[in-house]
């Protein structure tokens, strides 16, 4: 465990999701660019018949597959190349016979903005596994629901500068257990009742740079 800087704000966790809607990987450090963490959501699941995007909102079994990026920079699913036949079978098994994977670099691959930032204080108030929120960065040393006052503010995170645009409206995805994919509708009802349906922050990257777990973070406005 890294020191928590006497409760000063710091980067507690970094997450990347190389395949949208699949389980992600936890990182010690990452390069931030204008389109988020390097390698985030590089591969999408789509329906070969309708040409529509497929996500874990309607196909939660996708969350049971884990996407990573190997040392060679190639995306893997459960340790196999993303374009291997075994991977295609796994995707079809999770998301239906017409499900396929494709590479996509457009900003449309993000639901809102390229970076989602959560805080340890809000996750604690949430009371469930923070992975349900699918954050890219979790900031530690944050009191309670302080993040709700952050929209519009800028923050220096490691070597990068970001701006919090708005609180993220949450969807049915939060109701699926990250490990078992079992659904608990009470989770989203809880978010609506206690947090007006929003939790964590849609975030713009104003200036890229390297970010590492343990880095101090501070407001830059």
CATH of the domain at 145: 2.40.33.20
Which residue, 59, 87, 109, sits at the end of a domain? 109
What are the residues whose beta carbons fall under 8 Å from the beta carbon of 219, sequence distance 6 or more? 153, 154, 155, 156
Instruction: Specify the number of domains making up the chain.
Output: 2
First-to-last CA distance in the chain? 30
DSSP assignments along 127-151, one per residue: -S-GGGG--SEEEES--TTGGGG-T
Distance CA 40, CA 36 (A): 7
Which residue, 63, 94, 109, sits at the end of a domain? 109
Distance CA 115, CA 155 (A): 13
Q: Are residues 194 and 144 in the same domain?
A: yes
Q: What is the pTM of this model?
A: 0.94
Average pLDDT per block of 10 residues along the chain, 221 residues long: 60 97 97 94 95 93 97 96 97 97 83 92 98 97 98 95 97 96 97 98 97 96 64
pLDDT of res. 104: 86
Which residue, 62, 82, 109, sits at the end of a domain? 109
DSSP assignments along 26-50, one per residue: EESEEEEETTEETTTT-EEEEETTT
Q: Are residues 58 and 157 in the same domain?
A: no
pLDDT of res. 1: 38
Contact call for residues 41 and 110 (beta carbons, < 8 A) = yes
């Amino acid at each position: 465990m890294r020191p928590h800087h006497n409760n000063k704000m710091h980067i507690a966790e970094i997450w990347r999701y190389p395949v949208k809607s699949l389980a992600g990987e936890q990182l010690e450090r990452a390069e931030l660019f204008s389109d988020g963490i390097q390698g985030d959501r590089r591969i999408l699941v789509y329906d070969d018949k309708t040409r529509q995007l497929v996500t874990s909102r309607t196909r939660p079994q996708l969350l049971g597959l884990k996407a990573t990026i190997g040392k060679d920079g190639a995306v893997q699913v459960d340790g196999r190349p993303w374009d291997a036949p075994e991977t295609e079978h796994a995707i079809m098994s999770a998301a239906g016979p017409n499900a396929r994977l494709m590479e996509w670099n457009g900003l449309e691959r993000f639901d809102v903005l390229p970076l989602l930032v959560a805080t340890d204080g809000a996750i604690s108030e949430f009371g469930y596994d923070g992975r349900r929120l699918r954050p890219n960065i979790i900031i530690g040393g944050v009191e309670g629901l302080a993040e709700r006052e952050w929209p519009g503010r800028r923050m220096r995170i490691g070597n990068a500068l970001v701006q919090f645009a708005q609180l993220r409206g949450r969807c049915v995805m939060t109701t699926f257990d990250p490990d078992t994919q079992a659904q608990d509708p009470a989770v989203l009802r809880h978010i609506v009742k206690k947090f007006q349906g929003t939790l964590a922050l849609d975030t713009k990257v104003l200036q890229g740079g390297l970010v590492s777990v343990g880095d101090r973070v501070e407001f830059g406005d």
